[in-house]
Structure 1
Amino acid sequence: MEIRQLKAEEFEASLALSEYAFQYKVSAENRITNKEKFKPERVWGVFEEGELKAGLTLLPLKVHIQDRIVSMGGIAGVATWPENRRQGYVATLLKHILQVMNENGQSLSMLHPFLIPFYRRFGWEVYCEYKKYSIPVGKFPVKTEFEGTVRRDAAELETLDQLYKRFAARYNGTLKRSMEWWKQSVLDQDVHHGLFVSDEGEPEGYVLYKLENRELVIDEFVYLNEKARRALWTFLANHDSMVTGALLKMVPSDDMLPFLLPDPRIAQENYPYFMARIVNAQAFIESFIFNKQPDVRKYTLYIKDEHAPWNDGSWELTVNPDGTASLVRTGAADAQTDLCCSIGTLTVLLMGYKRPHELARFGSLTGDPEALKWLEEIVPHAETALFDFF
């Protein structure tokens, strides 16, 4: 068995596996374009006697965590041939990729799971969810008078990006978008946008939407204040003679739109979305900022991580009064530590998706009651979200 990055001449083998696994077909014209864009150094494969058995793509991405940018390994396109399934190829590849990410300094990894239980076995855990609304035109938010203007399809990409950055920074786990990502993964020829600009000339919000089958399909709704939110909804509501309703996708889980509607009884759905995994616990924690406290506190933490041995085992967690922390290995056994959890539980705890008391209540986090109470106090409250897909 050989695990390595693909070569440029192996484009067809990689594409054939993806087409079969994900049940799609690339046209002859798009095949040429895709080959020109192919980045073999990002695609890893398992080979037996020169034949590609399984593969995945490792994307060098960055995400927002606590108002800072963290290097993240985005895993996409995990695939294997049906005759090669349940032979350990994907498992071997995932373990290898964890080592690669660790060597690359990517302290966090994210992926969209085809099957959540499968990736949980390897330490990834659901870290965010999104809402989906279907609103008939008769239940749209009330139109309001506002100071400023909404400009349709007239914003510079840099302006949209600046607004997105400020909105995305509110959440842990949102993607830091490059201009290339905007052009290739966010905007396409069917996407319209409305940009709200205040009377002072300041851009304060935007909406990305499509008109499909007499419906407003809203891909992204970004606003910095209530004035921008109301103005953008008034702009959308002015489509009432053209559409029968609106479909809002990828809405953050902390969104309050239904409560703000005149009639909140609309169709709402909630979806577990991406999974995340801390790749290097020491690096992640030592760059994390905990809540301030009066004095230095130390507790021992046992991390269970069978697929990343550099994380697995007991550690001394020290948090300073200013919220900075250190994580130092100890020789203690599981039963001798103050706190104990898996790497997946540690991930969702620090990202803010679940609170310590919630995880402790259901047995995902165990330990001394005083240590659990301390953890509840020092881990900052946060919201998680992701508006992208890979």
Structure 2
Amino acid sequence: MVIRQLRSEEFDASMNLSEYAFQYKLPSEKRASVKERFKPEQVWGAFEDGILEAKLTIIPFQVYIQGRVVPMGGIAGVATWPENRRQGHVANLLSHALHTMNEAGQTLSFLHPFLIPFYRKFGWEVYCEYKKYSIPVAKFPKKVEVEGKVKRDIKDIEILDSLYTRFAVSYNGTLKRDLDWWENSVLDDEGKSAVFYSKSGEPEGYVLYKIENRELVIDEFVFLNEQARQGLWTFLANHDSMVTGASLKLVPSDDMLPFLLPDPRIEQENYPYFMGRIVNAKSFIETYAFRGNSTQKKQLIYIDDKYATWNDGLWEWNISNEGSATLTRVEGDRAEADLSCDIGTLTTLMLGYKRPAELARYGHISGHSAVLEWFEEILPQAQTALFDHF
């Protein structure tokens, strides 16, 4: 088996595999458009005798972690022909992808799993979830008078991106969007938009939505303050003669809308969404901002990571009084560690999706009680979210 990047002339082989694996068929005009945007250098294939047997795509993204931008490799389009399954093709591709991302300086990797247990074996772990709401018209938020106004059909990407960035940067794991992503993955011709402007004329929130089958389908709801939230909801509620209800998806897990409704008994769903993985533990941890701690600054941590061996093993973890960290590999085994966990657990902790104490309670991280308290103390509280899909 040979693993290599695809060539431009192998678009049809790649597309045929995608259509079969994901059970869809592109019309010829759409296929031509997709071919124009095909980036073969991002697609890695497993070949036997020159025939594409399996593939995946590594998309170079940037994500927000603690308000700063971190390079991330997005894994997408993992596919193999059914006759080639369970032969190790995907496992080899994922292992190769980890080496490729590490060499490219992508310290994180995210993916949307077709099956969570499968990717857990390779070190990816759930790092965020979203809420989904279904709200009948009778339970819409109350219409209120606010100072400001809503303007429809605002698709000025500079305005939308400025609002999105200020909203997204408060979460760990959100994408830093560029113009191409906005144009081809966020906005579409069928979608509608509205922006809330304050009394002084400053944009303070937006909503992306559609009206389908007498329902408001709200794809993205971004607000910088309560005035913007109320103003946008009043705008949406004014559709009450046109629709029977609204559905919202990809709502951050810390969202307060149900509590704020006159009647919070609406249909709600919490859905585990994307998985994340630290690709290079040393690089990621040494750029992370911890809480300063004047005691117990040095600990030994054992990281279990058999698919990225540069992470695997015993490390000395030092935290300065100011909260900066160094991670230094040392000789030794798991028995000498103050803390032990696998790379997936470390990822979900560092991103802020779960806390050390709760994962220790269920055996996902082990260590001396005093060291677990130390880890709990130095690790900042955070919320995770992702408003995109790839």
How far off is 1:295 after superposition?
5.0
One-letter amino acid of the structure 2 residue matched with residue 154 of structure 1: I
Q: Normalization by structure 1: what TM-score?
A: 0.99
**Aligned with 2:350: secondary structure?**
helix
Alpha-carbon deviations, 1:11-56, whole Å to 9, x = none?
Answer: 1100010010000111111122111111100000000110111001
8 Å contact kept, 1:196–1:203: yes
Pairing 1:190–2:190 present: yes
Q: Which residue of 2 aligns with 1:120?
A: 120
Is structure 2 residue 250 aligned with structure 1 residue 243?
A: no
Alignment partners' CA distance in 2, 1:264 and 1:238: 20
Amino acid at match of 1:194: A
Contact map agreement 1:155 1:195 (CA 8 A) in 2: no
Confirm whether residue 273 of structure 1 aligns to residue 273 of structure 2.
Answer: yes
Alignment correspondent of 1:389: 389
Give the superposition deviation at 1:293. Answer: 2.0
In 1, Cα distance between equivalents of 2:155 and 2:92 = 46
Q: 1:142: which partner in 2?
A: 142
Structure 1 CA distance, aligned partners of 2:164 and 2:294? 36
User: For each residue in 1:64-87, what CA deviation from the matched residue of structure 2 results, as whole angstroms up to 9, or x when unmatched?
Assistant: 000100000000000000000000
> Matched residues in 2 for 1:309 and 1:267: separation?
45
Q: Corresponding residue for 2:80?
A: 80
State whether structure 2 residue 15 is matched by structure 1 residue 41. Answer: no
Partner of 2:53: 53
Tell me the distance in 1 between the aligned counterparts of 2:89 and 2:263.
52
Q: Which amino acid in 1 is paired with 2:9? A: E
Q: How much is the aligned-residue C-alpha RMSD, in angstroms?
A: 0.7
Report the Cα distance in structure 1 between the residues aligned to 2:327 and 2:107, rounded to whole angstroms: 14
Distance (Å, rounded) in 1 between the aligned partners of 2:143 and 2:106: 46
Q: Is the 8 A contact 1:288 1:325 kept in 2?
A: yes
CA contact (8 A) 2:171 2:383 kept: yes
1:89-168 alignment runs, 5 A limit: 89-168=89-168
Q: CA separation in 2, counterparts of 1:298 and 1:8?
A: 51
1:173 touches 1:385 (CA, 8 Å); kept in 2? Answer: yes
1:285 aligns with 2:266: no
One-letter code aligned to 1:124: W
Give unmatched runs, 5+ long, in structure 2.
none
Structure 1 residue 213 displacement after superposition? 0.5
Query: Partner residue of 2:175?
Result: 175
Instruction: Find the aligned partners of 1:179 and 1:154 in 2 and give their Cα distance.
Output: 16
Establish whether residue 349 from structure 1 lines up as the match of residue 349 from structure 2.
Answer: yes
Please tell me whether the aligned partners of residues 148 and 197 of structure 1 are also in contact (alpha carbons under 8 angstroms). yes
Question: Is the 2:296–2:374 contact (alpha carbons within 8 Å) kept by the matching residues of 1?
Answer: no
Tell me, yes or no, if the aligned pair for 1:296 and 1:320 is still in contact at 8 Å.
Answer: no
**What SS does the corresponding residue of 2:17 show, helix, strand or coil?**
helix
Partner of 2:283, secondary structure, is helix
Kept in 1, the 8 Å contact 2:55–2:77? The answer is yes
Aligned residue pairs, count: 390
1:367-378 → structure 2 map (5 Å cutoff):
367-378=367-378
Structure-2 separation of matches of 1:294 and 1:335:
26
Q: Deviations over 1:207-262 (max 9, x none)?
A: 11100000000000000000100000000000011000000111000001000000
Aligned equivalents of 1:220, 1:14: Cα separation in 2: 31
Q: Contact 2:196–2:203 at 8 Å: present in 1 too?
A: yes
Which residue does the alignment assign to 1:261?
261
Name the SS of the counterpart of 1:172 in structure 2. coil
C-alpha distance in structure 2 between counterparts of 1:23 and 1:374, whole Å: 49
Q: Take 1:340 and 1:250, find their aligned partners in 2: how far apart are those partners?
A: 33
> What is the SS of the residue equivalent to 2:134?
strand
Q: Is the 8 A contact 1:286 1:326 kept in 2?
A: yes
Structure 2 counterpart of 1:76, one-letter code = A
Q: Give the stretch that moved more between structures: 214-223 or 27-36.
A: 27-36
Supply the distance in 1 between the matched residues of 2:190 and 2:91 (Cα, whole angstroms): 39
For residues 87-109 of structure 1, the C-alpha deviation after alignment (integer angstroms, 9 at most, x for no partner) is 00000010000000000000000
| Pairwise CA distance, 1:154 | 2.8
Counterparts of 1:156 and 1:28 in 2: how far apart (Å)?
31
**What secondary structure, in the 3-state scheme, does the structure 2 residue paired with 1:135 have?**
strand
Aligned to 1:308: 308
Say whether the 8 Å CA contact 1:285–1:327 is kept in structure 2. Answer: yes
**Whole-Å Cα distance in 2 between the matches of residues 211 and 172 of structure 1?**
31
Whether contact under 8 Å (1:195, 1:206) holds in the other structure is yes
Distance in 1 (alpha carbons) for counterparts of 2:294 and 2:82: 57
User: What is the alpha-carbon distance in structure 2 between the residues aligned to residue 7 and residue 172 of structure 1?
Assistant: 35
- Structure 2 CA distance for aligned equivalents of residues 116 and 154 of structure 1: 38
- TM-aligned CA deviation for residue 296 of structure 1: 6.6
**CA deviations over 1:107-165 (Å, ceiling 9, x no partner):** 00000000000000000000000000000001000000000110011351100000000
Q: For 2:107 and 2:349, locate their aligned partners in 1 and report how far apart those are by CA, in whole Å.
A: 15
Superposition deviation, residue 184 in structure 1? 0.4
Give 3-state SS (helix, strand or coil) of 2:10's partner.
helix
Partner of 2:23: 23
Unaligned 5+ runs, structure 1: none
Question: What per-residue deviation string (whole Å, max 9, x for no partner) do you get for residues 241-293 of structure 1?
Answer: 10000001110000010000000000001100000000000000000000122
**Which residue is 1:226 aligned to?**
226
1:330 match? 330
Distance (whole Å) between structure 2 residues aligned to residue 22 and residue 3 of structure 1: 22
TM-score normalised by structure 2 residue count = 0.99
SS in 2 for 1:316: strand
Partner Cα distance (2:191, 2:336) in 1: 57
Question: Which amino acid is 1:220 matched to?
Answer: E
